[in-house]
Structures are given as C-alpha cells and as structure tokens.
C-alpha cells in the first residue's frame, strides 16, 4: 500500500448559487521517502490538496490515507493529534513567532510532540547553529525559512508539506532552500511534498502531480531526478 493515498477526493465551496470544485475527484499516490512536487497555475487547487492532506481542511468526498491511517474519516480531536504529530508544515511566509528566538521557535514545536528531535541539533542540520539566539526580525528571509524547516523537522513528522516555500525568496536563496528540502528527503528519508506554480522545478522531483481546474491533469515519475543545482529557471 502506498504511503499517501488520495482517492477521488472532492472539495466544494459554495458561493451563493455557485459551487466551486476546488478539488474534483483528485486521485494520486505518493511513496514513502519520495520528493513530490504538486504543480499547477494559480487557483488550480494545489493548496486545497495540501490542506486536506495536512488535516487543516476536510474533504467532502473521497478517501485520504497516510501510512495506512484514514485521515479523511478523522474527528476534530484526531485531526489535532494528526497535525501535531504526523505533519510538518512549511509556508511561504515562514510564520515564525516574532518574540521568540530561532531556537525557541523550534523548541515550541518539539515540545508538543511524542518523539521530537533535539532542537539544537536540528538547527545545526539546517546550518543555523550560529543564529539560534537571534529573533526572526534579525534573520534574512532565507534564514527564517531555514528556522521554519527546522521547526517542521524537529517534530519528526511522517511528511513535510511545503506550500510555495521559495515564493518570498530571491532566486539564489530559493535554490538553497530547495536543496535543503531535497537533502531532508534524501538524507533523513522524509517524504517531502512541495506545492508550487513553478514548472521549472519539476525535474528535481521523484513524482510530479500536475493539477488544473481542481483535477489531476497528469502524474509523472522521474527515474533520475536532478539535484536542484543542475536546474535553472
């Protein structure tokens, strides 16, 4: 059985008489340890898929499974536990707590988990051991995103979900963040899922899921994904 399974997942939004199918019978699977990119234009339904998989939103129809557990059938309480223990999130705008240091931001996440990693060690693995005691406002955008990745990793989650993780960064910094995420996947055997509108990133993924108008347009598997250093855009 695949690690992540989406089977005919539907999500509808109702606006007056209009119904928007943000997710329209979305079906795909992702294997454990894969680096997966979900790509599509703005409004295609990428974030909807990521939020449903992350337990931040629920679907109206269909089946969602992670590591054999049915996420789509969870109660609110089960979803809270699931978000807390099983999922690491990385967002476009970092979402750090501004009045806590970088290390404290990571500790905050590790404190709520069952089997966290050591926060200081995780900070070292994202090459921020020198900046642990700085506040977010004292860090560059790239460094803040490293803290956000450390915070997600310190929970020792089953999957790392990243929504446009380089959207607020310049080209070079964005590349270093993508390299870090690719390294997390390869070296820590994490299942990493990235949502992006940037088609150019797809050669670095093991699996590429293209989404258009709420539906899966195509799924490709790259037998030989490229290191991000070899990709230009």
- Told to check if 48 binds ligand ATP by CB under 6 A, we report yes
Q: Distance between CA 37 and CA 207 in Å, rounded?
A: 6
For residue 230, the minimal CB distance to ligand ATP (Å) is 25
- Told to check if 226 binds ligand ATP by CB under 6 A, we report no
- Told to check if 93 binds ligand ATP by CB under 6 A, we report no
9, 30, 39, 44: residue in contact with ligand ATP (rule CB under 6 A):
44
Q: Distance between CA 62 and CA 24 in Å, rounded?
A: 10
Which residues have CB under 8 Å from 97's CB, separation 6+?
A: 104, 105, 108, 136
Sites for ligand ATP among residues 168-187 (CB under 6 A) = none
Task: Spell 192-211 as b/e; 16+ CB within 10 A means b.
Answer: bbbbbeeeebbbbbbbbbbb
For residue 23, the minimal CB distance to ligand ATP (Å) is 8
For residue 29, the minimal CB distance to ligand ATP (Å) is 20
Q: Distance between CA 14 and CA 211 in Å, rounded?
A: 21
- Told to check if 40 binds ligand ATP by CB under 6 A, we report yes
Q: What are the residues binding ligand ATP (CB under 6 A)?
A: 13, 20, 22, 40, 42-48, 197
């Amino acid at each position: 059985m695949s690690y992540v399974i989406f089977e005919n997942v539907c999500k509808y939004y109702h606006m007056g008489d209009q119904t928007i199918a943000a997710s329209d019978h979305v079906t795909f699977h992702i294997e454990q340890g894969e680096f997966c990119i979900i790509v599509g234009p703005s409004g295609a339904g990428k974030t909807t898929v990521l939020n449903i998989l992350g337990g931040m939103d629920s679907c109206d129809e269909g089946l969602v499974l992670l590591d054999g557990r049915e996420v789509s059938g969870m109660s609110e309480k089960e979803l809270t536990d699931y978000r807390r223990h099983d999922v690491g999130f990385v967002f476009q705008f970092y979402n750090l707590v501004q009045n806590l240091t970088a290390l404290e931001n990571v500790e905050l996440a590790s404190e709520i988990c069952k089997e966290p990693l050591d926060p200081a060690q995780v900070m070292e693995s994202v090459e921020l051991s020198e900046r642990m005691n700085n506040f977010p406002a004292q860090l560059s955008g790239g460094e803040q995103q490293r803290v956000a990745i450390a915070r997600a990793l310190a929970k020792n989650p089953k999957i790392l979900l990243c929504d446009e993780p380089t959207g607020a960064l310049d080209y070079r910094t964005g590349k270093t963040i993508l390299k870090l995420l690719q390294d997390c996947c390869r070296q820590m055997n994490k299942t990493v899922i990235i949502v992006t509108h940037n088609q150019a990133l797809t050669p670095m993924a093991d699996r590429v899921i293209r989404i258009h108008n709420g539906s899966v347009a195509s799924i490709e598997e790259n037998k030989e994904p490229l290191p991000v250093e070899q990709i230009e855009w």
